[in-house]
Amino acid sequence: MVTSDAQADATTLWVAHTHAVDAAESTPYRAVTSAEKRSGKTRLREVLELLIHSALPAANISDAALFRAVEKLSPTLLLDEADAIFRAREREDLHGMLNAGYRRGAVAYRMGGANNTTLEAFPVFCAKAFFGIGDFLPDTLADRAIPVRL
């Protein structure tokens, strides 16, 4: 994996940030991209998984499971294959959760309970990193992300 010194420094600072995120009011996202396969994205994700606070690697997680995982675990989310997720129109709930989740106090409301009659609030704030090929992030997320181009 080849990165610039500035990208390595930014990644190191982001790793430290994941350990102090409870003291933060907002969190920058990481956007790890490459033009093609086999550029080191997965290797970087594997290394980050060992270094960051409470890693939750996810490549194919349902929206409901992700909402509950963020609520219960307060993880650092490592969303692999994000380029495929952001191409899928049926993942609008996920897009909304990710758009809001950079600010402490942001919640997503969903119906739950035995018969889906109970309004539930799910906190969506946590540190997040996205891994994918090409420029896959919507503008709203790209504005909240620190890019790493491999």
Domain boundaries, the chain: 5-149
pLDDT band at 113 (very low <50, low <70, confident <90, very high): confident
Taking the C-alpha atoms of residue 93 and residue 101, their distance in angstroms, rounded to an integer, is 12
For 57-96, the pLDDT digits (tens) are 998 788 889 989 999 999 999 999 888 887 776 777 888 8
Q: Using one digit for the tens of pLDDT, what is the confidence trace for 121-137? A: 999 999 999 999 998 88
Read off the pTM: 0.90
The architecture CATH gives domain 5-149: 3-Layer(aba) Sandwich (3.40)
Q: Model confidence over 30-44: pLDDT tens digits?
A: 999 988 888 889 899
Strand partners, 57: 78
Chain centroid, CA 139 distance in Å: 15
| pLDDT number for residue 89 | 67
